[in-house]
Amino acid sequence: MAVERMYPRLVVHDADAAIDFYLAAFGAELVERYTDGSGAVVHALLRAGRAEWALKDGDAVDPAPSGPGAVIMALEVDDPDAVAAAMVAHGGRVLFPVTDHDYGQRAGRLADPFGHAWMVAAHTGDLTPEQIQERTGRP
């Protein structure tokens, strides 16, 4: 067995508004979008750079979350400050501001208006795994 592809699938309250948010905040492109007979989005695929994710409208089988949950989407970008600003400008909110971290990243965490948390980060330094562990202060 070989895994061909893996991507996250986000369930949201208003898929079309979420698509608009991700297009504006991340510069994403809409790759595909399908609806059911009522017009609800049953699948939409977005791409920003090499990252892909899908989303759909919540329903009785797949309810949309009401706030940032257990999964945090990690998005590596060239300018986390600009991405965070774009997210906020389009309705996102800061959970942790973008700052430099000793473990070689400039990163922050934001919530989108649809109940999902996103870590936006840029690589800022080349460290060994041992150096990263030492700098995070965890055993």
Q: For the segment 73-100, what is each residue's pLDDT rounded down to a tens digit? A: 989 999 999 999 999 999 999 999 999 9
pLDDT of 3 over the 70 cut: no
The answer to whether residues 119 and 109 touch, using CB atoms and an 8 Å cutoff, is yes
> How many other CB atoms are found less than 10 A from the CB of residue 75?
19
Among candidate residues 36, 28, 5, the one with its CA nearest the CA of residue 112: 28
With contact defined as beta carbons under 8 Å apart, do 120 and 108 qualify?
yes
Counting every residue written for the chain, the total comes to: 139
Task: State the pLDDT at residue 70.
Answer: 67
Q: What is the mean pLDDT of the chain?
A: 91
CA angle, 123 as apex, 55 and 134 as ends, to 5°?
Answer: 115
